[in-house]
Amino acid sequence: MRFSRFSKSSDPLGRYYTDSMVGALLVNSMGLACPGTVLDLGAGEGALVGEASKIWKSSRFITVDIDANAGSALLPKLKGSIITHHTTDALDFALAERLGLGQGGVDAAICNPPYLRPRWEKHFAAILEEAGLSHVLPHISEVPSDLLFIAQNFRLLCNGGRLGLILPDGIVSGEKFTSFRKTLINKHRIERVIELPRRIFRNTDAKAHIVVVSKHGKASDQITIQRIEQNGLLSPQLKLPAHFAEKRLDYSYHVQTTSCIKLNQRKIADVALSVSRGSFSSSNRNNVDFPVFHTTDFSLCEDSAPPAFRLSHENNETTTEVVASPGDILVARVGRNLSQKVCMVRSGRVAISDCIWLLRVVPEHREAILAYLRSAKGRNALEAACHGVGAKFITKSALLEITF
């Protein structure tokens, strides 16, 4: 993995930009199918919104940067009307009106805020107050810009809306920010935290984390934490009890202590009858006269394989390849959005490509596993089980290890 420059040293606007792989991981970690309106405050060159627009294909994006020369200002020209850009101060108290949004008019937000101590302005206190963050540091005027950006995001997000952040290590693990973390845990819901490796940003030892929060989400008594290992792969998930998470949220610390509970539920392996890989490669898919279900044929809205893929009686009799039967669950084996590609064959028999796993489980658990793998939690579990950050794949053993 290569990451672009990130130094806390000198730029007056904190213009340190995210690598596209971290951007894609952040967006995928949010576990959302396609939010309506997405906000990116401090969009810079547009690394986050660029990745988000590839994954959330029918969302509408609003970007803001104070820097008139920020590359994100060109996005509406490059990407068309799905993106609206504003050159303005993201810390304006009347930001929602300036962007033509009501308070709560945003469904999801992505943000790598500048890590600065801004010159204190009176209205910052009102922003923090409205977002329920005015008490998190002993001296309100010491609140850094990243917390102010988080407060603005909370003001604009709808209840339940998700915020995907890249935050410096201090906020995630520093004692000074204990009260801030407590507020995120108790008043909102931390969905997951992924620690990024040290020295992934050139010229600096700074560490950062992906943090995904749901505004006013139902508090959870456990928080899922992970890290990207130096080899670029995601570590297994750890479940951190909330009271430990207040203390700190960094994986590297907790993995060494006894404060984490490893997932300890039923595994897919416990109820699986078989897992087989489809056998039609892209070339022999084109050489057969019947439809072969492939990763591009999954639908986000449909949990069943489309009837058009049912094999005719004649083809069903003659094919000797791996073929799915009613009740079989199909899971994408490779591809960027594989965690969003799960469905069931409900009738007929379906030929499948070699990019798909055919998962056959005992009948009484079929629907539960399908529902779980298609839920936000299940998508996260698939993400966590994947190897590779850009071009992902999931192995048979990783699929079987998933708990439900």
Which residues form the interface with ligand SAM (CB under 6 A)? 13-18, 42-45, 47-48, 64-67, 70, 89-91, 112, 114
Taking the least distance from each CB to ligand SAM, the nearer of 44 and 144 is 44
Question: How far is Cα 389 from Cα 391, in angstroms, rounded to an integer?
Answer: 6
Least distance CB 113 / ligand SAM (angstroms): 6
Least distance CB 246 / ligand SAM (angstroms): 26
Taking the least distance from each CB to ligand SAM, the nearer of 64 and 245 is 64
Least distance CB 96 / ligand SAM (angstroms): 14
Taking the least distance from each CB to ligand SAM, the nearer of 27 and 32 is 27
Least distance CB 209 / ligand SAM (angstroms): 14
Taking the least distance from each CB to ligand SAM, the nearer of 158 and 167 is 167
Question: How far is Cα 32 from Cα 93, in angstroms, rounded to an integer?
Answer: 28
Taking the least distance from each CB to ligand SAM, the nearer of 165 and 351 is 165
Least distance CB 41 / ligand SAM (angstroms): 6
Neighbours of 317 (CB within 10 A): 8
Which residue's structure tokens are 């596993």? Answer: 369
In sequence order, the 6+-apart residues with CB closer than 8 A to the CB of 196 are 22, 166, 207, 208, 209, 210, 227, 228
Least distance CB 164 / ligand SAM (angstroms): 11
Least distance CB 122 / ligand SAM (angstroms): 15
Least distance CB 241 / ligand SAM (angstroms): 31
Taking the least distance from each CB to ligand SAM, the nearer of 202 and 243 is 202
Question: How far is Cα 39 from Cα 110, in angstroms, rounded to an integer?
Answer: 6
CA 340 to each of CA 224, 269, 404: distance values in angstroms, whole numbers, following the listed order:
19, 21, 16
Taking the least distance from each CB to ligand SAM, the nearer of 114 and 161 is 114
Report the phi/psi class of residue 46: left, alpha or beta, with left for phi > 0 and alpha for psi in -120 to 50. left
Least distance CB 48 / ligand SAM (angstroms): 5
CA 160 to each of CA 107, 108, 130, 212: distance values in angstroms, whole numbers, following the listed order:
8, 9, 17, 12
Numbers of helices and strands, H then E, in the chain: 15, 16
Tell me the pairing of strands 222-227 and 189-195. Answer: parallel
- End-to-end CA distance of the chain: give it in Å, rounded: 31
Give the sign of the dihedral formed by CA 145, CA 147, CA 151, CA 156: positive
Least distance CB 141 / ligand SAM (angstroms): 16
DSSP state of 52: H
DSSP state of 17: P
Determine the 3-state secondary structure of 214 from DSSP: strand
Taking the least distance from each CB to ligand SAM, the nearer of 89 and 129 is 89
Question: How far is Cα 315 from Cα 350, in angstroms, rounded to an integer?
Answer: 10
User: What DSSP string runs through 243-291?
Assistant: HHHHH---HHHHTTSS--B---S-BGGGTEEEEEE--B-HHHHHTSSS-
Question: How far is Cα 85 from Cα 70, in angstroms, rounded to an integer?
Answer: 10
Taking the least distance from each CB to ligand SAM, the nearer of 50 and 335 is 50
Find the farthest-apart pair of alpha carbons in the chain and give their distance in angstroms, rounded: 76
Taking the least distance from each CB to ligand SAM, the nearer of 12 and 80 is 12
Least distance CB 168 / ligand SAM (angstroms): 10
Taking the least distance from each CB to ligand SAM, the nearer of 27 and 43 is 43
